[in-house]
Structure 1
Amino acid sequence: MINAIVNKVAMERYRDFLSATDEVMLALIECDQHIKRLDRKKSQSSWVACTAQELRSFQKKAMDQISELRKVAKNHEAELISREWRL
C-alpha cells in the first residue's frame, strides 16, 4: 500500500518535472518574436546589452540543455519513480 502511494507521488513529481521542462521550452520558443523585434529595431538607443545574434545563440544553447536534461530524465525515468527521487 505504501509503495503504491510513494510511486504515485513520485510519478506526479516526474510528470510535474516534464511539464516544467515543456513550459521552459515554450517560453524559449516565444523568445523568437522578441528577438525578431529587436533585430528590426536595429538598436535605436545608444547602447545594446546583447545583439539579436547573441540572443539567438543563448536561446539555442538553453534549448539544447533542456533537451539534454529531458533525455537524461527519460533514461532514468524508472529509477526516479521507483526511488522517489532520492538519487
Structure 2
Amino acid sequence: MVQVKPINRRALRRYGEFWRALQMVGNALAEAERVAAKATDNQPIRGQTAHWAAATLDEMKSATKKAKNSLHIMSAAAKKWEAELVSREWRR
C-alpha cells in the first residue's frame, strides 16, 4: 500500500496566500485596462503647467499587456508546481 505524505499545513496556507496575491494582481491589471480604455487625453488642464509626464495610452496598454503576460506565466508555473510547493516548507 502506498502512503501519501501529509500535506504541510503551513506550506498549504502560504501557497493559498500566494495564489490569492496572484488573483489580486490580476484584478488590479483588469482595473488598469478599464482605466486605460477610458483614457483619451494626456494634455494638462488648461491654465495648469504639468511638471511631470503621464504615460501615453499606448504605453499604458503595452505595460498592462506585458504585466498580464508575466502574471499568466507565473500563474501557470504556480499551478505546475503546486504539489511541490504545498509539500515543502517555504523559506523566508
3-state SS in 1 of match to 2:8: helix
| Higher share in helix | 1
> TM-score, normalised to structure 1's length?
0.79
The structure 1 residue matched to 2:68, chosen from 63, 70, 76, is 63
Structure 1 stretches lacking a partner, 5+ long: none
Q: Deviations over 1:15-57 (max 9, x none)?
A: 1100000000001100123213322xx2221664311111011
> TM-score, normalised to structure 2's length?
0.75
- Paired residues in the alignment total 81
Q: 1:75 & 1:85 partners in 2: Cα distance?
A: 17
Q: 1:84 & 1:77 partners in 2: Cα distance?
A: 13
Paired AA for residue 84 in structure 2: E
Greater relative contact order structure (CA < 8 Å, 6+ sep) = 2
Instruction: Give the CA RMSD over aligned residues.
Output: 2.0
Paired AA for residue 69 in structure 1: M
Q: 2:16 & 2:42 partners in 1: Cα distance?
A: 41
Percent identical pairs in the alignment equals 36
Higher mean alpha-carbon deviation, 58-67 vs 77-86, is at 77-86
1:14 equivalenced with 2:15 (yes/no): yes
